[in-house]
Amino acid sequence: MLREVDALRGRIVELEQMADTDPMTALSNRRALDREMVRALATVDRHDMPYAFALLDVDALKRINDGHGHLAGDMVLRRLAIGLRDSFRRTDVAARLGGDEFALILPRVSLDEAQARLARFMADFSGRDIVSGSARLRVSVSAGLTEILPRDTMAQVISRADAALYQAKAAQRSAR
């Protein structure tokens, strides 16, 4: 009986983990990110600690999918996920929202520090080739960063990060 209960508990933990994980990237999914955002918003309200939030988007993933196939695009997404896991702290939350969109919650980090960390990550990721079959892909990422402020709502934080992401993409397009 005890073994059956232990097995059932183990299965419950496994199912909860599956429900919170993006299957392609093994990062948190939107469901898990939303839960972490609620915690972050509450922490900022209660303790006035600095938190930052970023939205990231793979530049020209459609062109990669169209030109090299979806397996190459999937490889790019998995490499980005590995980069996020390797470049940020265990206490940071990296999530795939869907498609080529990712998010980061950076607890106890000022906006300036978050900007510097994000810039290092993006430069490192953009400076590496991703090999998929015979293709060598050079991929870049755009990001929109904002601070989580006391009394913010999730929608406000995401809206500011989304606007910053849009500005970053527009600036990148005009620089070409």
Q: Are 15 and 69 in contact (CB under 8 A)?
A: no
Q: Residue 50: left (phi > 0), alpha (psi -120 to 50), or beta?
A: beta
- Ranges 16-25, 41-50, 55-64, 95-104: which has the least confidence: 16-25
Instruction: Sketch the domain layout of the chain as residue ranges.
Output: 2-175
Tell me the H-state helices in 2-152: 2-19, 30-47, 61-68, 70-87, 111-126
What mean pLDDT do residues 77-100 have? 95
* Buried-state track 104-135, b at ≥16 Cβ within 10 A, e below 16: bbbbebeeeebeebbeebbeebeeeebebeee
Tokens representing residue 47 in the block: 């303790």
pTM of the entire structure?
Answer: 0.89
Q: Binning pLDDT at 50, 70 and 90, where does residue 155 land? A: very high
pLDDT the model gives residue 81: 96
Q: Which CATH number fits domain 2-175: 3.20.20.70, 3.90.245.10, 3.30.70.270, 3.30.565.10?
A: 3.30.70.270
Q: Are 54 and 161 in contact (CB under 8 A)?
A: yes
pLDDT the model gives residue 138: 87
What mean pLDDT do residues 95-102 have? 95
Tokens representing residue 52 in the block: 């930052």
Q: Are 37 and 110 in contact (CB under 8 A)?
A: no
Q: CB neighbours (10 Å) of residue 169? A: 15
pLDDT at 174 over 80: no
pLDDT at 164 over 80: yes
Instruction: Please name the amino acid found at residue 123.
Output: A
Determine the Cα–Cα distance for residues 129 and 83; give it in Å rounded to an integer: 13
What mean pLDDT do residues 106-113 have? 96
Where is 169: in which H helix or E strand? helix 154-175
Tokens representing residue 73 in the block: 């695009």
Q: Binning pLDDT at 50, 70 and 90, where does residue 154 land? A: very high
Count of residues making up the chain: 176
pLDDT at 161 over 80: yes
Q: Binning pLDDT at 50, 70 and 90, where does residue 15 land? A: low
- Ranges 62-66, 102-106, 116-120: which has the least confidence: 62-66
**What percentage of the chain exceeds 70 in pLDDT?**
90
What mean pLDDT do residues 101-120 have? 97
Q: Please state, rounded to an integer, the average pLDDT across all residues of the chain.
A: 90
Closest CA to 11 of 27, 23, 19: 19
